[in-house]
A and B are shown apart, each in its own frame.
Chain A
Amino acid sequence: MWRVFSASTTGKRNLERGAAGQDATHCLVTDDVLVAIVCDGAGSVPEGRTGSDFIACALVEELSSTLRADRNLTQVRADGGARLEATIRCAVEAARTRLADLAASRQLALHDFSCTLVGCVASPSGGCFFHIGDGFAIARGAAGDCVLSRPENGEYADETYFVTDENWMNHLRLTPLPAPERGSVIGLMSDGTAPFAVDRARSGFFRPFIDPIAAFLREATTPNGNEALRNLLESPRACEISQDDKTLLLAFVL
Chain B
Amino acid sequence: MNTVIPDVALIDNSDERAPLVLVLDCSGSMQEEKKIQLLNEGLKALAADLKSDPIAARCGRVLIISFGGDGNVEIMGDWTDAMDFTPPELMAGGLTPLGAAMRCALDEVESQKSQMRTAGVSYKRPIIMLLSDGEPTDDWRQVAAECKSAETAHKVNIMAIGIGDQANKETLGHFSNKGALSLSGLKFKELFIWLSRSIRAVSRAPAGGTVQLNPVDSWTRLST
Assess the B13–A153 pair: CB atoms within 8 A: no
The 8 A-B residue pairs whose C-beta atoms are closest, nearest first, are A157-B122, A208-B9, A150-B120, A157-B207, A196-B10, A195-B14, A158-B207, A227-B3
Choice from B6, B7, B10, B120 contacting A136 with Cβ under 8 Å: B120
Number of B positions contacting A (CB below 8 A): 29
Q: How far is the CB of A232 from chain B (nearest CB, A)?
A: 6
Are B4 and A206 within 8 A (Cβ)? no
A interface, CB within 8 angstroms of B: 134, 136, 150-153, 155-159, 194-202, 206, 208-209, 212-213, 216, 220-221, 224, 227-229, 231-232, 237-238, 241-242
Partner of A213 from B1, B3, B5 at Cβ < 8 Å: B5
A150-B118, A202-B121, A212-B7 as given contacts; A221 in contact with B1, CB under 8 Å: yes
Q: Footprint of A on B, CB under 8 Å?
A: 1-14, 16, 113, 117-125, 154-155, 207-208
Main secondary structure of the interface of B (DSSP, over half): loop
A209 contacts B1, C-beta separation under 8 Å: no
Q: A136-B120, A156-B124 are in contact. Are A206 and B1 (CB under 8 A)?
A: no
Whole-angstrom distance between the alpha carbons of A234 and B4 in the complex? Answer: 11
With A151-B120, A231-B3 known as contacts, the answer to whether A212 contacts B8 (CB < 8 A) is: yes
| Complex Cα–Cα for A60 and B121 (A) | 29
CA distance A177 to B23 in the complex (A): 44
Contacts of B117 in A (CB 8 A): 152-153
CB atoms of A213 and B120 under 8 A apart: no
Chain B residues near A197 (CB, 8 Å)? Answer: 10-11
A196-B123 contact given A150-B118, A221-B1, CB 8 Å threshold: no
- Residue among A151, A213, A224 making CB contact with B8, cutoff 8 Å: A213
Residue in contact with A195 in the complex, picked from B13, B119, B207, CB distance below 8 Å:
B13
How far is A151 from B13 in the complex, measured between Cα atoms in Å?
A: 14
The answer on a CB contact under 8 Å between A195 and B12 is yes
Q: Are B11 and A224 in contact, with the CB atoms below 8 A? A: no
In the complex, A195 Cα to B118 Cα: how many Å?
Answer: 16
Residue of B nearest to A203 (CB): B119
CB of B16 to closest CB in A, whole Å: 5
